[in-house]
Homo-oligomer: A and B are copies of this chain.
Amino acid sequence: MKRQGIVFVISAPSGAGKSTICEGLRHSADFVYSVSCTTRAPRPGEVNGKDYWFISADEFTRHAAGGEFLEWAEVHGNCYGTLRARVLELVAQGTDVLLDIDVAGARQVRGQADAGFKPTLVDVFIMPPSAEELERRLRKRGTENEAQIQTRLANAKREMEEWRDYQYVIVSGSMEEDLARFRAIMSAERCRSRRWL
């Protein structure tokens, strides 16, 4: 039996534990991370085609104007986007793809599904166990100042209101629990009978 690839989407407010899940998943060979395009400059150690596709603003604008992005956004003056063609190519080969995108990006991808983007979409929201715990985790990272923490918390609360738009919600517990649940969702979705051709 054969099947098409599945497009998995993972979203979470910062501090909810998404990076940890993604890091843990990197050891799995059974799917491909979608590499985004970005107009921002590579940071030391970042590799083109692995961390991002580093492209010029002109090229980005051309892709966007051509409707070639599954989703894209401008963040702090830099653009980030996922090219549809690459995702479709992988899916057609039967490869599962993981998109690590925010709530707004997920909304765009879902919109494309309505408009004829055919691959199966499975979206997962990582929910912080509570607002207090989210704040605790953000402060523990020690990478943001007070104003940034307040901004992130406000954003997080806004994003958390959209959890019902996702097919799955993982209420974040320990790193191992979150990772096991995400893997379970991937494994289960692969057993869905309607996937099989």
**Residues of A with Cβ closer than 8 Å to B?**
1, 124-125, 163-164, 166-171, 180-181, 183-185, 187-189, 191-194, 196
Q: Which residue of B lies closest to A171 (CB)?
A: B1
Contacting pair A168 B181 (CB below 8 A):
no
Contacting pair A167 B184 (CB below 8 A):
no
Of B189, B194, B196, which is within 8 A of A188 by CB? B189
Rounded to whole Å, the gap between the CB of A167 and the closest CB of chain B is 6
Question: Which 10 interchain pairs have the tightest Cβ spacing?
Answer: A188-B188, A184-B187, A184-B184, A185-B188, A168-B191, A169-B193, A184-B188, A166-B193, A164-B193, A170-B191
Rounded to whole Å, the gap between the CB of A128 and the closest CB of chain B is 13
- CB neighbours (8 Å) of A124 from chain B are 191
- CB neighbours (8 Å) of A193 from chain B are 125, 163-164, 166-169
Distance in angstroms between the alpha carbons of A127 and B167 in the assembled complex: 26
- CB neighbours (8 Å) of A171 from chain B are 1
Distance in angstroms between the alpha carbons of A160 and B172 in the assembled complex: 38
Rounded to whole Å, the gap between the CB of A160 and the closest CB of chain B is 12
Contacting pair A181 B185 (CB below 8 A):
no
Output the residue of A188, A192, A193 with the most chain B CB within 10 A. A188
Distance in angstroms between the alpha carbons of A188 and B185 in the assembled complex: 5
- CB neighbours (8 Å) of A170 from chain B are 191
Distance in angstroms between the alpha carbons of A169 and B169 in the assembled complex: 23
- CB neighbours (8 Å) of A125 from chain B are 193
